[in-house]
Amino acid sequence: MTEKVNNIVVLISGAGSNMAALIKTAQQENWDGLLGARVVAVISNKPGAEGLALAQALGVATQVLDHKDFESRAAFDAALQTLIDAHQPALVVLAGFMRILTPDFVAHYAGRMVNIHPSLLPAFTGLNTHQRAIDAGCLEAGATVHLVTADLDHGQILAQAVVTVLPGDSAETLADRVLVQEHLIYPQAIKALLQLL
């Protein structure tokens, strides 16, 4: 058993499949006993996010902070920071959290906030990554786990998974295969980072 307490807070906006993969891996691999690490809260900026029910079914508390209730990005981020910090997290995990973050918020979590992006960074930052990879004629696509910095999708790369682009792939078929890999690399990259903290 470890003395350390490595609370993890996960931020989502949608389906939450990466969040669920993280919680399941942490439970199956007994991160609590080995690393003192557990997902203590899942926070969504969207009240209807599918991932909220998924988190609850896995025994993790959920909170909603609707960005529409705030008049500015800075006000939302400040409230989000207060909500997150109540959990005293070692790590903040972005898992399909569809918000541009303010520099102050990012700086507050420097070195302890991670994201997964569905491309082989530094290629295809931003949205519609799979269609753009197909349109560019890429033979390989994939996903990247990286530290979050103020520069969108540009933080230090922690892990990548490569997926072959197949003839006839649509953005959806490619995304489905990349997502399978995301569910493998994200938990393991987070585990490796926790071991360094």
Residues labelled as active-site residues: 117
CB 134 within 8 A of CB 161: no
The DSSP H or E segment spanning 172 is helix 171-196
DSSP state of 3: S
Residue 154 beta carbon to ligand GRF: minimum distance, rounded to whole angstroms: 14
Residue in the shown chain whose Cβ atom is closest to ligand GRF: 96
Q: Which single residue is written with the structure tokens 């998974």?
A: 161
Binding mask 14-53 for ligand GRF (x = CB under 6 A): xxxxxx-------------------------------x--
Angle at 187 between CA 140 and CA 190, to 5 degrees: 105
Rule CB under 6 A: say whether 54 interacts with ligand GRF: no
Residue 129: both structure tokens together: 């990554």
Rule CB under 6 A: say whether 187 interacts with ligand GRF: no
CB 85 within 8 A of CB 112: no
- Complex with ligand GRF: residue 77 or 182, whichever CB lies closer: 182
Which of 26-34, 67-75, 116-124, 187-195 is the region at the interface with ligand GRF (rule: CB under 6 A)? 116-124
Residue 77 CA to residue 46 CA, distance in Å, equals 14
Q: Is 172 exposed, middle or buried (0-12, 13-18, 19+ CB in 10 A)?
A: exposed
Binding mask 119-158 for ligand GRF (x = CB under 6 A): ------------------------x---------------
- Complex with ligand GRF: residue 49 or 90, whichever CB lies closer: 49
Which of 52-60, 64-72, 114-122, 158-166 is the region at the interface with ligand GRF (rule: CB under 6 A)? 114-122
Residue 145 CA to residue 187 CA, distance in Å, equals 10
- Complex with ligand GRF: residue 89 or 118, whichever CB lies closer: 118
Residue 186 CA to residue 51 CA, distance in Å, equals 16
Residues that bind ligand GRF (CB under 6 A): 12, 14-19, 51, 95-96, 116-118, 143, 179, 182
